[in-house]
Copies of this chain bind each other. A is one copy, B any other.
Amino acid sequence: MKIAIAQLNPTIGDINNNAQKILDAAQKAVKENVRLLLTPELSLCGYPPRDLLLYPNFIDSLTLQLQELAQKLPPELAVLVGTVSPNKQATIKGEKPLFNSVALLENGEPKQVFHKWLLPTYDVFDEHRYFEPGKELNFFELEINSNSEKTLKIGVTICEDLWNDEKFWQKRSYQQNPLEELVKIDIDLVVNLSASPYHLHKPKLRTQMLQSSSCHHQVPIIYVNQIGGNDDLIFDGNSFVVNEKGNIVLQANSFREDFKIFHFDSKQRKISLKPINYLPLVEEEELFSALVLGLKDYAQKCRFTKVVLGLSGGIDSALVAAIAAEAMGEKNVLGVLMPSPYSSDHSIKDAQNLVKNLGINHHILPIGDIMETYDHVLNPLFSDTEFGVAEENLQARIRGNLLMSLANKFGYLLLSTGNKSEMAVGYCTLYGDMNGGLAVIADVPKTRVFSLCHWLNRQEEIIPNNILIKPPSAELKPNQMDQDSLPPYEILDAILNLNINHHQSFHEICHAGFDAHIVKKVLKLVTRAEFKRKQSPLVLKVTDKAFGTGWRMPISRGDK
């Protein structure tokens, strides 16, 4: 018996086109005599639909589209489709109004519907906001072929349902464990329909977790993940199959749509595939691919074909330019050099070399004259004051204005180029260099920006070498260097990682061996920069804690 995995890239809310993608996969599957086709979690509406779920009409459209899709699908093919279904007893029982569901479509109709049990409500996940947990055991009996009376018993799980393996995590995260319940009724295999957002090393973590689960329960697991960028979240795909011994026997693409078919030996009730030796991507390739996909899909799903960014001659904008060239095609990328009287000669030259290496377009718009007119207007009020943050920020904001003028005039998507370390400590200008529709590398710490650029240069110089070796500077006043007022980036990033990703306090971080004065200063900067992060563009999430939908901090606080 053949089973197929459709690793799809849906667009949030684009129900018709998402249904068409499922239909296309089904037609491909049926040509190959596939019996069962699997699609990702919420494949009909895309994940995460967020507050679109609060609109009754949106739920009705999903219900209608599911019916229509069932009728269009080849009747002999069983298809698992992710969708949202109404909880009709909600207001009587005092429950949430919806379920996060999977529908089994066969013979022209939804034959069975399964509801997700474990609803993630942490970090970027808000599933308790919308959904009631499922309570019934999720499985179905699949006739192995239409003239046979033999059936397979297939357990259905939805994403988080498999993330409560007490043995693997050494703790329980939910009271229930759907897999344990399914194993008790002697199922032949388990499918998992997922929309599991990417962060660095997560593909490996998922594989290890499901290897542990399948091995422990001696059951094969078919894991189907969404791919594609949806706003701040990137889904890496990386669907795979593990056999009952915990061996990986099939692996789908990373960061691309994919379609895989494999045999299930219905007599022996085993997957007819040999273990493979799957090598995950190296860290930098994984991260770069994620960022490229995140930008590409955000642009495409918002209908942008061209992007613009400021090129300072520094490493951050150089990396974003390289990501943009890969994501959009170099001819669709415009870099703008906006030198001021404080810009060094090498900045302009370095940026021009970058433009040449990448083959992108560029303009040069000097900002000196504009700075002078502002000075002239502000002079009556500022004349008795010293040059300071106001004057520094003004330069960044003039550049931000010019970039937005180009974006507005020619329909570019403006990319902001700040890294995570800057965003953490507030070394960035609101309404200046923070401007943009997407903050491409704002979840990439500065030290990782360096390692990504070195990796990009592994075969030939893409990022000009001078950009890699010169000391980072905002160039907003003469001889300004980042390290004048910040600790070295290795130390800064280590402190930030403990505080932001590991929720450590001042005392814990000092105890880990960092200087108390530095830690105190850094944590104070982090707290005080919250108001800037509140207004930042979407940040592509690539670590386990990004400054995005999963970061919910108060701004007015007593401990500043």
- Interface of A toward B, CB cutoff 8 Å: 11-18, 46, 48-52, 54-58, 91-95, 121-122, 126, 128-129, 164, 171-176, 229-231, 297-298, 301-303, 363, 365-367, 369-370, 372-374, 376-378, 381-382, 385, 388-391, 393-394, 397-398, 400-402, 404-406, 408-409, 430-431, 435, 437, 503-508, 531, 534-538, 549, 551-560
| Contact across chains for A93 and B231 when beta carbons are under 8 A apart | no
Chain B minimum-CB-distance residue to A129: B121
When A389-B408, A404-B397 are in contact, do A538 and B553 touch as well, CB less than 8 Å? no
| Contact across chains for A508 and B57 when beta carbons are under 8 A apart | yes
| Contact across chains for B405 and A378 when beta carbons are under 8 A apart | yes
Residues of B within 8 A of A48 (CB): 554
| Contact across chains for B230 and A556 when beta carbons are under 8 A apart | yes
Residues of B within 8 A of A14 (CB): 557-559
When A402-B378, A404-B393 are in contact, do A231 and B94 touch as well, CB less than 8 Å? no
| Contact across chains for B393 and A126 when beta carbons are under 8 A apart | no
Q: List 17 A-B contacts (CB under 8 A).
A: A12-B554, A16-B558, A51-B552, A51-B553, A94-B172, A231-B554, A298-B556, A366-B377, A369-B373, A370-B373, A378-B402, A382-B405, A397-B401, A397-B431, A400-B431, A401-B431, A549-B552
Residues of B within 8 A of A52 (CB): 553-554, 557
| Contact across chains for B363 and A369 when beta carbons are under 8 A apart | no
Distance (whole angstroms) from the CB of A401 to the closest CB of chain B: 5
Chain B minimum-CB-distance residue to A176: B94
Out of B93, B302, B435, name the residue touching A555 (CB < 8 Å). Answer: B302
Residues of B within 8 A of A508 (CB): 57
When A55-B505, A370-B377, A556-B301 are in contact, do A409 and B382 touch as well, CB less than 8 Å? yes
Distance (whole angstroms) from the CB of A361 to the closest CB of chain B: 12
Out of B128, B164, B385, B559, name the residue touching A13 (CB < 8 Å). Answer: B559
Distance (whole angstroms) from the CB of A367 to the closest CB of chain B: 7
Chain B minimum-CB-distance residue to A170: B91
When A94-B172, A405-B374 are in contact, do A556 and B11 touch as well, CB less than 8 Å? yes
| Contact across chains for B437 and A554 when beta carbons are under 8 A apart | no
CA separation between A400 and B93, bound complex, in Å?
Answer: 51
CA separation between A183 and B249, bound complex, in Å?
Answer: 60
When A91-B171, A431-B401 are in contact, do A17 and B558 touch as well, CB less than 8 Å? yes
Distance (whole angstroms) from the CB of A117 to the closest CB of chain B: 12
